[in-house]
Chains A and B, each alone.
Chain A
């Protein structure tokens, strides 16, 4: 064992994985800086509720788990920079940050990326109408804000979040008009059979399903919203069955929440240049990692859902294992100690991951939707790019996702393709007979989110600007 190296570690993301990892790293004796975009830790699942939500949302595991995590973090030696976002980084792991005091840079000798997941969205005719929001956004609005997206809500898309959101609507006294799921009923039954491996999830799922059943809410499997129209009082939604497109159901509702599962957030890891792979089951790009979160680049680790969607219980275990692995890689603990510390977490994780993997095809159940988008449907909301525009560019020879972006502006707007990348890729792959991997991914660009221009310029006078020498006459 070489002499221990206690140089600092930087963690991006104060969710379950990142905060757990930061606390464990700090206990191993590393100086740890944790960067989190929110004003308090917790990430998405353990996000701190507003005082109003705490009053009216029934107590739940997410509140208590989040409070415990925040207490542990506060009691640790971790230096936490809240309200701070990473807007870029260099290959040497120099981080560009935007915090309460403007922009600054932070060199990271060792970096743990735990920036979680992004919701996958797939468009339909009329989806940019007001009162249609994402499933994840709806969940935050209700659980952390105590506010319903509407008195009546159609919950649509795919994956377990469908039932969580439907349950939350009922909890706040709202009406679930219908649940529209792209997945097969048989896939849910298979998942149900596996839940014995994860008793906590089994209890939760059973109580949700009983309550939804009791409320008599219609559930459509292998179906999706194909069209939304604004009416005087809300929305008129057309639901189409995927295997029988002639079978349609029309619902009137105040609001709709729609999302098609989660995908790892990869802007940071792609910019850092680590190796990625396309996971065909999850239908997303993920950084290539080993069990402990090591990537193709030394000193850069990815943990939690940022390394592939496995859910919150696994995220905690992953964060812990990554922290122990860094301690081992730095010569702080021996191989034997590493194995002793990770034996139980690894065993628990294997059991829970078996369930998580079963959820991936359910989350990715909408993968065939982009191929059949109507020409008039907007794919890229930021730049107002329609499916027909994409198809005509593909016909002109744009057979790669970045060429498609270059010729149509799809993915060039403020969200940097977070909303449209999956549908543009699916449409392109179907049109050219390519796999999603062959169709490609948008090149990650800085800044990762719109950056106030004055944060870059600061206070200055004309003479402060280092004008380069004049161009040749």
Chain B
């Protein structure tokens, strides 16, 4: 599906760099509004975080300040048939975050309170009430925070659904095309240079949505924002008889546990692997594999019957204040960014749509996500 770029291309209205959930949603809504859009990715689309994440829809694990956005993102996933064009299989389930020690119970209650204030329908349940909802849980738990609005998505169905929607909307998809430089073009707009291709892709404006690769690209535009790259471990088991119905977590947020319709159990929670995104290659840290899986087995003891089918690692990006970057990078409003959203898969489609609306002239409240907040560059200064 990669576009041949040997001939000099036209100028796009918007060139989106990074074909994951956020960039692809922005591209989709811009194209539907009549823009001529190119969407570029260094690999095939949806192969990084958006293709390999745990598929958790969660209010328990998202940043408290992002809860209103996560609620809207979750609604979009559940409604994907209507706006994306096909049902990606999102399932609404409750979410339970558990405490096994006194300290964890305290943390749980404190976190539940803050999230309640931000609009999450969370209540703290006793052990007995929790086990009535989820009989497979370790009975030694002390308490659990219950949220009615959680759920999960079989992540593998998302990429193909977006591909079909983007194509139908007329987006030009340029895959396997690592971007090696972005610079202002003479006469306005930007030139996006792709490794191994003679001609740059030109756009009146650009959107950067490259997740863990944002730091370098923001640097090309004069922004020096250190972006931390988390290398999250995921573990999936062979299919099992039903052992849980909810999305399970623990008070400190370092576990996500769910069982998909096919019976496989996915164990995540952000335990770290090692690797380097620029040199390529990520690896499991054996001690972290053991820790993550022990935690899962502690929460649902029947996982002792499971077989580990596969372990893999996915990248997540985080700003110094762990809040997203969404908005304009230049006073001329011709360069934008969307990314670094905690639990970004949950709120991703909503954030991508907000940016598209912003580009199309409406004024959603993105103040807390202003990408210029870390920079000494004046927000109303000159183009880099």
Given contacts A397-B160, A397-B173, A473-B111, list 5 more A-B pairs with CB under 8 A: A105-B286, A273-B281, A453-B305, A454-B297, A464-B294
Option from A96, A407, A462 in Cβ contact (under 8 Å) with B159: A407
Contact in complex: B322, A465 (CB < 8 Å): no
Q: How far is the CB of A445 from chain B (nearest CB, A)?
A: 5
Q: Which residues of A contact B309 (CB under 8 A)?
A: 413-414, 447, 450
Alpha-carbon distance A465/B293, docked complex (angstroms): 10
Given A91-B283, A447-B311, CB of A396 within 8 Å of CB of B160:
yes
Q: How far is the CB of B104 from chain A (nearest CB, A)?
A: 9
Alpha-carbon distance A339/B274, docked complex (angstroms): 44
B163: interface (CB < 8 Å): yes
Given A105-B286, A403-B44, CB of A467 within 8 Å of CB of B252:
yes
A selection of 7 A-B contacts at a CB cut-off of 8 Å is A397-B160, A408-B156, A445-B312, A454-B297, A454-B304, A462-B140, A465-B298
Q: Which residues of A contact B293 (CB under 8 A)?
A: 453, 456-457
Alpha-carbon distance A384/B164, docked complex (angstroms): 23
- Looking across the interface, which residue of chain B has its beta carbon closest to that of A446? B311
How many A residues, CB 8 Å from partner? 45
Q: How far is the CB of A325 from chain B (nearest CB, A)?
A: 28
- Looking across the interface, which residue of chain A has its beta carbon closest to that of B285? A90
A-B Cβ contacts below 8 A, count: 130
Q: How far is the CB of B376 from chain A (nearest CB, A)?
A: 25
- Looking across the interface, which residue of chain A has its beta carbon closest to that of B252? A470
Alpha-carbon distance A346/B207, docked complex (angstroms): 60
B36: interface (CB < 8 Å): no
Q: Which of A452, A458, A465, A472 has the most CB of B within 10 A?
A: A465
Contact in complex: A472, B342 (CB < 8 Å): yes
Contact in complex: A465, B160 (CB < 8 Å): no
- Looking across the interface, which residue of chain A has its beta carbon closest to that of B307? A450
Alpha-carbon distance A398/B167, docked complex (angstroms): 13
The 0/1 profile, CB within 8 Å of A marked 1, for residues 280-315 of chain B is 010110110111011101100001111111111000
| Interface residue SS majority, chain B | mixed
Q: Which residues of A contact B61 (CB under 8 A)?
A: 471
Given A397-B173, A445-B312, CB of A453 within 8 Å of CB of B303:
yes
B33: interface (CB < 8 Å): no
Alpha-carbon distance A402/B157, docked complex (angstroms): 14
Option from A397, A407, A458, A473 in Cβ contact (under 8 Å) with B114: A473
The 0/1 profile, CB within 8 Å of B marked 1, for residues 203-224 of chain A is 0000000000000000000000
Q: How far is the CB of B305 from chain A (nearest CB, A)?
A: 8
Q: Which residues of A contact B1 (CB under 8 A)?
A: 397, 399
Q: How far is the CB of B280 from chain A (nearest CB, A)?
A: 10
A106: interface (CB < 8 Å): no
B100: interface (CB < 8 Å): yes
Q: How far is the CB of A469 from chain B (nearest CB, A)?
A: 7
